[in-house]
Amino acid sequence: MIETSVPCASRDLRPNSLLIVATSVALLTLLPVAAYQLGGITHLPDPRGELFASDRITGSKAAHPLGIPDSLLGLGSYGITLSLILLATSHPKARRFLTLKLLGDGAVAAFNIVRQVAMFGKICSWCTGTALCSAVMVVADRSSIVGEAQELRRRR
């Protein structure tokens, strides 16, 4: 059978660049936290002001669920997210998992910020950076989903 359908020129098969950048930055914000939690560095620098307490928060018991530094869990999680982003262009199931994963990433990041404020009355600047990246990822994915839905409507 000869394939007669022509791919739509408006459909971009490249991974969403904003998703890749935001996920990469999230991974980068977790590296110093991991270094601190594993004893590689003795202090996480914060912006000036009374709002931030990165050392206290990332060194707390809450930041070590099941005795595992949450930065290591985050590095693994965002590594999986990056893999799904790269797979999503050629694997429809990866695309579906990516949407769910990004919603989960966003929910966990929001929960962690709220927990920091509730428990410590302060926030971790590095964790806030990761949370902001997660928010960008959710918004960027929403744009991709809207674009795909519009493309499907045009084909009908």
Q: Looking at residue 78, which CATH number applies to its domain?
A: 1.20.1440.130
Domain presence at residue 4: no
Structure-token match 């990004």, residue found: 102
For all residues of the chain together, what is the average pLDDT? 88
**What are the residue ranges of helices labelled H in the chain?**
17-37, 54-58, 70-87, 92-120, 125-155
Tally Cβ neighbours within 10 Å of residue 56: 14
Domain presence at residue 11: no
DSSP string computed for 122-153: SB-HHHHHHHHHHHHHHHHHHHHHHHHHHHHH
Structure-token match 């022509």, residue found: 6
Domain presence at residue 3: no
Its domain, for residue 34, covers 17-43+51-155
Tally Cβ neighbours within 10 Å of residue 69: 19
Query: Six-digit token pair at 75?
Result: 């590095």
Domain presence at residue 10: no
Domain presence at residue 7: no
The contacts of residue 62 (CB under 8 Å, 6+ apart) are 115, 119
Domain presence at residue 2: no
Comparing 154 with 32, the larger pLDDT belongs to 32
Domain presence at residue 8: no
Domain presence at residue 6: no
Domain count, the chain: 1
Q: Is the pLDDT of residue 67 over 90?
A: yes
User: Tell me: the pLDDT tens digits for 13-54?
Assistant: 456 899 999 999 999 999 999 999 999 999 999 999 999 999
